[in-house]
Homo-oligomer: A and B are copies of this chain.
Amino acid sequence: MIQIQLSERQEKIIDIVKANEPITSENIAKTLKLTRATLRPDLAILTMSGILDARPKVGYFYTGKTTFSFISEKIQGIKVAERKSIPIIVDEQTSIYDGIVTIFLEDTSTIFVTSKGYLSGVVSRKDFLKNAIGGLNLTKTPIAVIMTRMPNIIVTAPEESVLDAAMKLIEHEIDSLPVVEEVILDEGDKAYKVVGRITKTTITRLFVELGNNE
């Protein structure tokens, strides 16, 4: 992929095609009072970039493709599977106090809680803080008491785009998403296995890489 700043003449050609499509190169040349040979490189660039479409014996069409779609195409192609990091997981029986210790040991903002190996809850630093000043017995109360429970947990999946995951983080005002794989249990119920996490740190790191052309 390469990128090209359109010339004034190329912008004019786009306008002419938009207004008169389909239009032959001869008629574009006439409108601009130039020769067809002069326009050939311009038309080549505009068709190669997908902005114009040329149909033999008919002429040029405007495709409606925006000129700024490159960044978004690149971003939309990045999958959760490529960027997920290791999830921090504790069992439901873990005490709130041990949960807080885990937050510090792992330097994470959110921990995922499982029951029999499947996702049952999520606890954020904010949840811990609220309860740490709330007078609960932190060493004796299991983390299950304060966690956000299924089915109120927002999740993402390996095949989802990082962009979709980032949109969930913003929309639901959370810092972290568990990356899950759906499992059908013997009884026919669905359950989630936690296979990773996507956080605002993941997104910030990706932004830095894109910005530094890595």
| A166 CB contact (under 8 Å) in B76, B133, B204 | B204
Does A138 make an interface contact (CB < 8 A)? yes
Q: A3-B1, A207-B203 are in contact. Are A213 and B97 (CB under 8 A)?
A: no
SS of A interface (majority): helix
A133 to chain B, nearest CB (A): 5
A126-175 contacts to B, CB under 8 A, are: 126, 128-130, 132-133, 138, 163, 166-167, 169-170, 173, 175
A209 to chain B, nearest CB (A): 9
17 pairs, CB–CB < 8 Å, chain A vs chain B:
A1-B3, A1-B4, A2-B4, A2-B51, A3-B49, A40-B41, A41-B45, A68-B213, A71-B211, A72-B212, A109-B175, A166-B204, A166-B208, A167-B208, A170-B208, A200-B200, A203-B207
Q: What is A's interface to B at a CB cutoff of 8 Å?
A: 1-7, 40-41, 44-46, 48-49, 51, 66-72, 74-76, 97, 100, 103-104, 107, 109, 125-126, 128-130, 132-133, 138, 163, 166-167, 169-170, 173, 175, 200-201, 203-208, 210-213
